[in-house]
Structure 1
């Protein structure tokens, strides 16, 4: 072991340079794949390719452990070389802390089923926070350490050059280095461009529903009359949802009005059911409080949903004996999923019309969406407008693209 450590410490500078390069490539790959996974637009464009990108992100994230371990083996000698260089030592600790934090939170997100929603939700917050802090820092650090900026003859603005009124023997005096100027400019640019987005991220993260208020006020649906909430919905029986919904969609977000919205229950049923909006809002509704968990790691707690239990709609339609599966259609014309009859019969599976006493905005899947609290949210179909009873099994949109059919939280 001692001989191996001695070997590693030989050529110490070259090894550290190689380590910096590896760290750089790891950060680049994680950034690009992370942005593709985060952006709702890319979900529809990438399709099943998103699953491969997710695995690339996971594998490279795990690989980030290697440079951390490698550095720790070299750390003693390198740390001594940095004696008296406070800023460089601080930079080492910051970068190692970022890599370790990304790695740990990423592992918890990867194993979301094993750790449960509470841990995965906290891990996603930490992962995002480290990204918002770490990426600008790494960009800043990388740019300001370029070879061009390290060349003294190209990075210094000087005064006192020989000329009129200046003694030929006088030495030029540096008043401001180009490197210092670039550092300031890059830092100010990152602050101006990323600062507002970071503040919005913090606001959404720490809010208790303000972001949804904005979505409600910007709701593009135009359906009348508005559903009148039951007393348990307003004020919300659950006290108001805690957390912020992240808007993911595989298509452009649709909007609806009285002329283009309807709701159908058909297929292997005794009676086909059909409602327009005016008829649908007259149906009897119930209120329930439940948590909402996304497979990507975030959660919104204590949601007060108001709507019609799915089992009541199926009972009203009459399910034929041949029917085995409940196929669910989204009003975007693309997304579909399914539940077994046993799953659809659960008391808390709801065709929801109101959230916390307000109409569900189109960005959150309104005017009507499914809510399946015991399963991850890809089963809770947005813009629900048709339920079909079918004889066979059915594989939903994301399940065709690598998601598990087993969407249970645990």
Structure 2
């Protein structure tokens, strides 16, 4: 059986792993650096959380006994840790299974999961430093020992039911804050016909992104096709426009409702420029020189995949993939290659960027 001291140290180590990997996922330059060295950051973060969860679940009975014989200070610290971990685990699970859950639950969970880290971190630092350097904090005697507290304190000490009520109330306030942030685009854009829910987070795998002008950008379609071609943006914009209103999902857990994408269908591009695919797969390359993803020809031609030029009646901005991004309405956002500059048709399908550098599904269906 693991000693409680060892369990405490394991808790600290796993918390450091979770905190550092979470900060790296939150911070674009760090996330990009881990991508470049091909470190599976998302998998590491989830694996650390699962080990932590297993460790806590296996020791719940011992932890309960521990709270019965320890002073309030230690009990408070333990309950604070368990409450925070409960919220992290719950919101993390919601983010992982977000495609099967309502967006009014998933978007607040993303916000809470990140915000809780910054709220909890100061306490974790304080707790670690006072223990590591044996700093004596002038807590009341009754708080750091099992002596009876004064009468005026004892009558106000919350019991188990009070703790459950406070935890439930705190959770409700956190979700309320997440919902307010989620509804913010709606509250500040009453005239927006699309009634967008949620907001986009900008992710890329390099520390910068290409900045094309409309005249500079061209799309190359080559490989196993009847006639390779290079097409300008003006030529593509001259084709019949298609608009799709759908929900946009990111595999990291957030989503945006009722997004209007405008552009041209891939099959219309092929037919209008007399391009006949002779391969069975397609690799889509980003202009950032690093990112790419792969599809079957059927996924792009038969399933309403499109080249997008505008989002919610506005031209794409550079960070969103201007001048053109690929979009498939039934796939996660990582399949939506930004700054698209080449479609290469091949016979054999390759692994995409996130299959080589992570563990994302090759097809990426919701």
Q: TM-score, normalised by structure 2?
A: 0.75
Judged with a 3 Å threshold, the aligned counterparts in structure 2 of structure 1 residues 39 and 204 are, in CA distance, closer, same or farther, namely farther
- What are the superposed Cα offsets for residues 167-187 of structure 1, whole Å, 9 maximum, x if unpaired? xxxxxxxxxxxxxxxxxxxxx
Q: Which residue of 1 aligns with 2:201?
A: 246
Q: Residue 292 of structure 1 contacts residue 299 of structure 1 at CA under 8 Å; is this kept in 2?
A: yes
Q: CA RMSD in A?
A: 3.3
Q: Residue 117 of structure 1 contacts residue 299 of structure 1 at CA under 8 Å; is this kept in 2?
A: no
CA distance in 2 between partners of 1:244 and 1:314 (Å): 33
Aligned pair partner of 2:67 in 78, 83, 102: 78
2:45 pairs with 1:57: yes
2:30 pairs with 1:22: no
2:86 pairs with 1:100: yes
Aligned pair partner of 1:365 in 321, 324, 327: 321
* Residue 360 (structure 1) shift: 0.9
Q: Residue 226 of structure 2 contacts residue 277 of structure 2 at CA under 8 Å; is this kept in 1?
A: no
Q: Residue 227 of structure 2 contacts residue 276 of structure 2 at CA under 8 Å; is this kept in 1?
A: no
Q: Which residue of 2 aligns with 1:128?
A: 114
Aligned pair partner of 1:283 in 212, 226, 239: 239
Secondary structure of 1:399's partner? helix
- What are the superposed Cα offsets for residues 343-387 of structure 1, whole Å, 9 maximum, x if unpaired? 112453221111111111111112211111201112111011222
CA distance in 1 between partners of 2:108 and 2:290 (Å): 32
Q: TM-score, normalised by structure 1?
A: 0.68
- What are the superposed Cα offsets for residues 108-144 of structure 1, whole Å, 9 maximum, x if unpaired? 444556x457465554333223223222332233335
Query: Which runs of structure 2 are paired with 1:339-378 in the superposition (5 Å)?
Result: 339-346=295-302, 348-378=304-334
Secondary structure of 1:256's partner? coil
Secondary structure of 1:398's partner? helix
* Residue 312 (structure 1) shift: 0.7
CA distance in 2 between partners of 1:262 and 1:321 (Å): 19
Q: Residue 325 of structure 1 contacts residue 339 of structure 1 at CA under 8 Å; is this kept in 2?
A: yes
Query: Which runs of structure 2 are paired with 1:140-219 in the superposition (5 Å)?
Result: 140-150=126-136, 205=182, 207-208=184-185
Secondary structure of 2:65's partner? helix
Secondary structure of 2:282's partner? strand
CA distance in 1 between partners of 2:319 and 2:179 (Å): 20
Q: Residue 281 of structure 2 contacts residue 345 of structure 2 at CA under 8 Å; is this kept in 1?
A: yes
CA distance in 1 between partners of 2:329 and 2:102 (Å): 12
Q: Which residue of 2 aligns with 1:186?
A: none
* Residue 273 (structure 1) shift: 4.0
Secondary structure of 2:23's partner? helix
Aligned pair partner of 2:33 in 45, 57, 67: 45
Counting matched residue pairs gives 323
CA distance in 1 between partners of 2:13 and 2:354 (Å): 30
Q: Residue 330 of structure 2 contacts residue 365 of structure 2 at CA under 8 Å; is this kept in 1?
A: yes
Higher CA-based Rg = 1
The range that moved more, 126-135 or 21-30, is 126-135
Secondary structure of 2:59's partner? helix
Q: Residue 43 of structure 1 contacts residue 50 of structure 1 at CA under 8 Å; is this kept in 2?
A: no
* Ranges in structure 2 where 5+ consecutive residues have no aligned partner: 139-176
Aligned pair partner of 1:383 in 327, 331, 339: 339
Secondary structure of 2:13's partner? helix
CA distance in 1 between partners of 2:227 and 2:8 (Å): 67
Q: Residue 269 of structure 1 contacts residue 318 of structure 1 at CA under 8 Å; is this kept in 2?
A: no
2:124 pairs with 1:138: yes
